[in-house]
Amino acid sequence: MTPKAVAVVFGLYGIINISVFYVNYLVFIPRFLNRKQYKLFALSIITTLVVYGLVKYGFGLIFSDIILDRMKGESLGFWKYFLNTFFITLIFLFLSTVLKFTIDWFLNERVQRDLENQRLTAELSFLKSQINPHFLFNSLNSIYSLAYQKSDTTPEAILKLSEIMRYMLYECNDNKVDLSKELQYLQNYIDLQKIRFGNKAFINFEVLGEVTNQQIVPLMLISFIENAFKHGIANDPHQPIVLRINVEDGRLFFFIQNKKHSHNRDAIGGIGLPNVRRRLDLLYPGKYNLEIRDEADTYTCQLSLVL
């Protein structure tokens, strides 16, 4: 193929075919197809096929020795050449339409994911915002009881509460915190409850396994302990609250059991556990197992969590 033929076939006709591609991609699809003006879109496509077919045939006449003439002296007539260019133009129109729909689909999927992530972030922020007032309400009630009784342990309880609130305000802003800090937070809460009960709160709290640099979503476990003190019996030395946390092979196993009040069969109550369930669904999808057994005299929660 001569340099002139290469310039005409790949240069001139390449520019024409690319222009077909982008006219459909940038003009027809956004203006007509995306707006569901299907008749105008179909009319634009038909007009493009005819106009570009005539334009190509015009250039074919100008460069007839390259475009229209065949081997052995046979020359392509108008209709044969027009049908040939018709299908080539149609291919470029089809490719531009497929590309436009593919890109729009991926962009729409990304927008939907972003919107979903924003919705989940807002929901998590709301769920987390519920925890602080819920916890603070319960703790202030406890300290109020001590103050009302003029207990000497009131200053110590206020100090414990300040340590707890400092953790909640300054340490819990990240998505995850060190497991060791979360466990210390739980210990402070338990100490606060013991003060409220006048050191007559009985709870067997043990941590098994090796706590090193594992991380956990903050404030995930506190609601279980809150409910054990709120709805259970904590002042029975023969049947104390049992709290056991085991860290093993990248998993956390949480177990808590408390004796129930005979007059309080609704051990769940409040917003605590529904809040925890929702946060687990959002933050540990497919990575946790929560079992709750509400029996006649005892209430048990077991949580298995992939850290």
Residue boundaries of the structural domains of the chain: 3-111, 151-306
pLDDT bin (cut points 50, 70, 90) of residue 2 is: low
pLDDT reported for residue 183: 93
pLDDT reported for residue 258: 92
Residues 275/127, Cβ–Cβ less than 8 Å: yes
Provide the 10 A C-beta neighbour count for residue 121: 11
Provide the 10 A C-beta neighbour count for residue 73: 6
CATH superfamily of 151-306: Histidine kinase-like ATPase, C-terminal domain (3.30.565.10)
pLDDT reported for residue 242: 94
pLDDT in tens, 232-276: 888 888 889 999 999 998 899 999 999 987 665 444 444 567 878
pLDDT reported for residue 71: 36
Tokens 């092979």 belong to which residue? 249
pLDDT reported for residue 72: 39
- Taking only Cα atoms into account, the Rg of the chain, rounded to an integer number of angstroms, comes to 36
**Least confident interval from 133-137, 161-165, 244-248, 257-261:** 133-137
Question: For the whole model, what pTM was predicted?
Answer: 0.59
Mean pLDDT of 7-29: 80
For the record, the structure tokens of 194 come out as 């013991």
pLDDT reported for residue 278: 84
d(CA 118, CA 292): 31
pLDDT in tens, 35-67: 888 888 889 988 888 888 888 877 777 766 666
- Mean residue pLDDT across the chain: 81
Within the chain, strands assigned E span 177-178, 203-209, 215-216, 232-233, 241-248, 251-260, 288-294, 298-306
Q: Is the pLDDT of residue 173 over 80?
A: no
pLDDT in tens, 104-132: 888 888 877 776 666 666 666 656 655 56
pLDDT reported for residue 267: 43
pLDDT reported for residue 265: 47
pLDDT reported for residue 179: 93
d(CA 153, CA 196): 8
pLDDT in tens, 81-92: 777 788 888 888
Q: Is the pLDDT of residue 227 over 70?
A: yes
